[in-house]
Chain A
Amino acid sequence: MTARRKSLLAILLGPGAFWITLFFLIPLVLVVVYSFLERRSGGGVLWSFSLDAYVKLFSPTGDTLINDFMMILLRSLWWAALTSFVCLIIGYPLAFFIALQPPSHRTAYLFFVLIPFWTNFLVRTYAWKFILNNNGLLNNLLQALGMKRIALINTPTAVLIGLVYGSLPFMVLPLYASIEKLDFDLVEAAQDLGANYVRVFSRVILPLTMPGIVAGIVLVFIPVSGQYIVPTILGGGKVAMLGNLLAQQFGPALNWPFGSAIAVVFMALLMVGVIFYLRGDAREEEVGL
């Protein structure tokens, strides 16, 4: 590389790299550092080494091995998995349907999947609160039909509905991208060779669209596991997820080292999960080919 090109590269790369380092990477490192420090009662930290935060997170309470904090962390991951699964069950056939339409219609369908993706998440979650509230639309409707009202708001069901609702477009778009690339000649070839529909799907269609499934699950799982808006609005503080826990520790509870430790453990679990998951997928693809 010539000196001129080198300085050009520095000019192009420098400002962005500076911004991302100072305002993204350093803050993340700071959270790791904070997790090993002592709590200061008015918020913030005291600069002396301490493992209190991790001890608090991993120590059992009473006769249960896992304390409430760890429980919320694990529950968030479990709900993220559940949300991914439901989105896949609804999203896969939807993406498949769109891919089967004539090209001119596909654009229109995709456009309608995309609109919620671009609209304000807070507002869309509020729409569900409006529907599910105790004297909300659904309950008014049930009452008008002479049925009993049901308590839905501030329950796990309400939170899960909100999570699926917010995540569905993130699942459909990558699924569509991989189903659209699917070569239907292979489907026909499998059928000519005597494979039934179940076999064609499990042995040909599913493996070939696996990259879309993997991408869709990653795109749903990660944001959902850290959701704050949905459990706050539809869970009303009674159904807490990890996002609420972090907000509480950095907010009213004023225990920054503990909040940091939760974030570090959460990120570590996510990272390990994603690495294993993607590696498993890579192996599957090798076998598939």
Chain B
Amino acid sequence: MTGQRGGIPGSKLLRWGKRLLWANMFFSFFFLYAPIVILVAFSFNDSRLGARWAGFTLKWYGQMLESEAIRIAVRNSLFVAFVSTAISTVLGTMTAIAMERFRFPFRRTYDGILYLPVIIPDIVMAISLLAFFSLSLGWMNNLFGLQGTSSLRPGLTTVIIAHVAFNISFVAIVVRTSLRELDPDFEEAAQDLGADEWTTFRRIILPLIMPGILGGALLAFTLSLDDFVITFFTTGPGGTTLPIEVFGRIRRSISPEINAISTVMLLASMLLVVVSQFVQRRGSTGV
């Protein structure tokens, strides 16, 4: 098939078409990467005003490391990401198995519902959770007679709940793909050899879909770490995550310190992509 691709008869039009494809490719990658490269480069710029080069410095990174607010925000972000990933990976994987290996009434409907958190604009989910938490926390405070500082308020817990609510769907979608690609012969063979359902799951299915589960978990972790909109509307005092902190700084001013924080965040994300690619590749050679 690849031989034929090169074999499309040449003509002036086709040559020009190919040139345009190359030009568009260069433009696209320039468009995608130039802002990122500029951002990183200017994080080393020795000028408070930012956009004029005044020599190399690492002082913005130093300032970033010394900032108490940043330290707290990073800790909060990692805490939210780890907890919400753990919960959503377990619940998402269980949901995926139920959807792929069972028949039940309203399965199609639930299938549709599962895709909703993925496609719904995040601002809508954010305001709906704001309304929900404000109402339910108010009820609970009334019910338990909580007032003042002891009352229940939005914070990291509500953020985690919200992140799990969208991440279950993402994990379920990724794990379902690897369940669908799994050869049913493996399961049948195991059961023919006398393994019960639990043993088949633990010894056969789970190891084979592990790359899918890890891929789903990494996606959930990244989405949680990166989320701004839903966190912004569900968090409260003391619940500042890194994107919230960065957003506040961006709105206040432009400073090279934000470039430094951004660079570190970019590096962390890229590390996650590399890890996820590695996990997926190992998965595909393993089966």
Contact = CB atoms under 8 A, between A and B. Distances in A.
Interface of A: 1, 5, 8-9, 11-13, 15-17, 19-20, 23-28, 30-31, 34, 43-44, 90-91, 93-94, 96-98, 100, 102-103, 109, 111-116, 118-124, 126-131, 133, 135-137, 139-140, 165, 168-169, 183-185, 187-188, 191, 197, 218, 222-223, 225-229, 232-233, 242-243, 246-247, 250, 256, 259-260, 263, 266-267, 270
Nearest to B107: A13
B134 A12 contact: no
A129 B120 CA distance: 27
Interface in B110-150: 110, 113-114, 116-117, 119-125, 127-132, 134-135
Nearest to B130: A250
Interface in B263-287: 265-266, 269-270, 272-273, 276-277
A34 B131 contact: yes
A237 B201 CA distance: 53
A196 to B, nearest CB: 9
Given A128-B35, A222-B121, A135 B49 contact: yes
A93 B24 contact: yes
Contacts, number: 251
B202 interface: no
Contacts of B134: 43-44
Contact of B52 (A102, A114, A140, A250): A140
B254 A133 contact: yes
B55 to A, nearest CB: 16
Given A27-B129, A118-B222, A188 B98 contact: no
B165 A19 contact: yes
B94 interface: yes
Nearest to B169: A20
B262 interface: yes
A109 B29 CA distance: 9
6 contacts: A28-B125, A31-B128, A43-B134, A97-B21, A223-B121, A233-B251
Given A16-B92, A126-B39, A111 B121 contact: no
Given A96-B21, A165-B31, A222 B119 contact: yes
Interface of B: 1-2, 4-5, 7-9, 13-14, 17, 20-22, 24-25, 27-29, 31-33, 35-36, 38-39, 42, 49-52, 91-92, 94-95, 97-98, 102-104, 110, 113-114, 116-117, 119-125, 127-132, 134-135, 161-162, 164-166, 168-169, 172, 197, 222, 225-226, 228-229, 233, 243, 246-247, 250-251, 254, 258-259, 262, 265-266, 269-270, 272-273, 276-277
Contacts of A259: 127
Contact of B165 (A23, A120, A187): A23
B123 A97 contact: no
A187 B226 CA distance: 42
A114 B275 CA distance: 13
Nearest to A92: B24
A112 B125 CA distance: 30
Nearest to B104: A9
Contacts of B9: 191
A168 B2 contact: no
The 5 A-B pairs of least Cβ separation, nearest first, read A226-B121, A127-B35, A27-B132, A27-B128, A16-B95
A32 to B, nearest CB: 9
A91 to B, nearest CB: 8
Contact of B229 (A12, A103, A229): A229
A130 B127 contact: no
Contacts of A112: 29, 32-33
State the majority secondary structure of interface residues on B. helix
Nearest to B135: A30
Nearest to A164: B31
A24 B116 CA distance: 9
Q: Which of A11, A12, A31, A120 neighbours the largest number of chain B CB atoms within 10 Å of its CB?
A: A120
B36 A116 contact: yes
B235 to A, nearest CB: 13
Nearest to A250: B127
B250 A126 contact: yes
A222 B28 CA distance: 22
B117 A20 contact: yes
B213 to A, nearest CB: 14
A238 to B, nearest CB: 14
Contacts of A120: 225-226, 243, 262, 265-266, 269
A263 B124 contact: yes
A270 B166 CA distance: 19
Contacts of A121: 226, 228
A43 B81 CA distance: 30
Contacts of B49: 135
Contacts of A15: 91, 94
A183 B234 CA distance: 48
A13 B100 CA distance: 11
B250 A129 contact: yes
Given A23-B162, A97-B24, A222-B119, A9 B130 contact: no
A118 B104 CA distance: 35
A23 B226 contact: no
Nearest to A256: B131
A238 B269 CA distance: 31
